[in-house]
Amino acid sequence: MNAAMYRNMLDENLVQSVLDLRLGGKFIISHPKHTAKITKEWPWDNSVMLVHASEAIPVLNRLSSEHPDRVFFKGVFRSGRLTETTICNICLRPTQQPLCNFTDPRTLVLLQAKEPKLGVNMKVYIPASGPASVPVLPKNEGLQEFDMHTFWLAGPFIALDYSNNILVKFRCHGPPIRYGPLPIRDLHYIHDELDGITGGPNNVVVFCIWAHLTTFPMELYIRRLQNIRRAVVRLLDRAPGTKVIIRTGNPQELFETYMESDWCTLQRDRVLRAMFKRLNVHLIDAWEMVQAHYFPHNLHPDYPIIKNMMDLLFSYICPQ
């Protein structure tokens, strides 16, 4: 491969974040945070992973806009011994069947379910669509988990280190969420949780939201982030000493790319960074950490990468 062939490869197949600046046979891979130089010999000793051909991008965008319900959920309505399961989603297609509206009244975050035939005065559960193993709490003799008998993936969870006066709380974000079955009352939106926090210099808030929204239209993700941003602004206004930390999305293994695509994740990652750019928040750059590591890409990164993230988190909390 000569320089001309390599230049053609860049021009025809790579996105605009890769630029040929005609600097004596060197090429520039640019990123919002830093820039790296490589020579034309680089392809001989390295490999390039093609996630999608450029022709696939319009297809992925069309899937998100025209088929947002390709990931579907089921609402389990219960009343005493009676149960009924109906389709539940944030993007339901119009039908003649009446709908139960669970839209958040304050922020208008949409969630609807087809009305059960048994009536609407019933509890709602949203079942799971796939197992995953996610370590929530590190093994620590001082930090003891309080058993709330909740679903092991979604929580909510509470742990207490009484001797060091540390309280840790965790819960998954509100719909859409591919866990379960989960009581609808346990699914709290991030902006609502932020508004319920007093805040202060002894409070740390960490949140992440991306993986469960990549199959839905970008407009929905932007609206969700706008609600969260407003809540972060309110929190920092009333308690400027509060530390707010955001964990970004990360590359994942390549399977069913029309469902879970790194291209869609990357677009949402860029939106998230732009949305919180001028606020006093910290980022755990999971995208860079996974991308730079020799471990294979994984939706739930391996332990050494998680440890790197935790080390960065603690450096924000205790910089000294």
Q: From CA 154, how far away is CA 148, in angstroms rounded?
A: 12
Please list the pLDDT of the chain residue by residue as tens digits (320 residues).
555 665 565 555 444 444 444 444 444 444 444 444 445 555 555 666 666 667 777 887 787 777 777 777 777 888 778 888 888 877 777 777 777 777 776 666 666 666 666 554 444 444 444 333 444 445 556 788 888 887 777 778 899 998 989 999 998 888 887 776 777 777 888 999 999 999 999 999 999 998 888 888 888 889 889 999 999 999 999 999 999 999 999 988 776 555 667 888 888 899 999 999 999 999 999 998 988 888 888 888 999 999 999 999 999 998 87
For the residues of the chain, what is the DSSP string, one character each? --HHHHHHHHHHHS-TTEEEEEETTEEEEE-SS-EEEEETTHHHH--------TTHHHHHHHHHHH-GGGS-EEEEEEETTEEEEEEEESSPPP-SS-EEE---TTT----EEEPPTT-S-SEEEE--S-------S---SS-EEE----BTTTB-EEEEETTTTEEEEE-PBSSS----SEEGGG-B-HHHHHHT----TT-EEEE---GGGTTS-HHHHHHHHHHHHHHHHHHHHH-TT-EEEEE-------SSTTTS-HHHHHHHHHHHHHHTTTSS-EEE-HHHHHHHSSSPP-SS--HHHHHHHHHHHHHHH---
Residue with tokens 């919002």: 32
Contact in structure between 213 and 268 (CB atoms under 8 Å):
yes
Residue 5: how many other CB atoms lie within 10 Å: 11
Q: What are phi and psi of 276, to 5 degrees?
A: -110, 15
Q: What is the distance between the alpha carbons of residues 194 and 27, in angstroms, rounded to a whole number?
A: 44
Pairing of strands 243-247, 282-284: parallel
Quote the pTM value. 0.73
Report the pLDDT value the prediction gives residue 138, as an integer from 0 to 100. Answer: 53
pLDDT for the residue numbered 260: 67
Q: What CATH number should be reported for the domain whose range is 150-317?
A: 3.40.50.1110
- What is the per-residue pLDDT for 9? 55
**Cα separation of 117 and 96, whole Å?**
13
Question: For the chain, where do the domains classified as CATH 3.40.50.1110 start and end?
Answer: 150-317
**In whole angstroms, what is the distance from residue 212 CA to residue 46 CA?**
33
In angstroms, how far is CA 17 from the centroid of its own chain? 22
Compute the chain's Rg from CA coordinates. 22
284 strand-pairing partners: 247
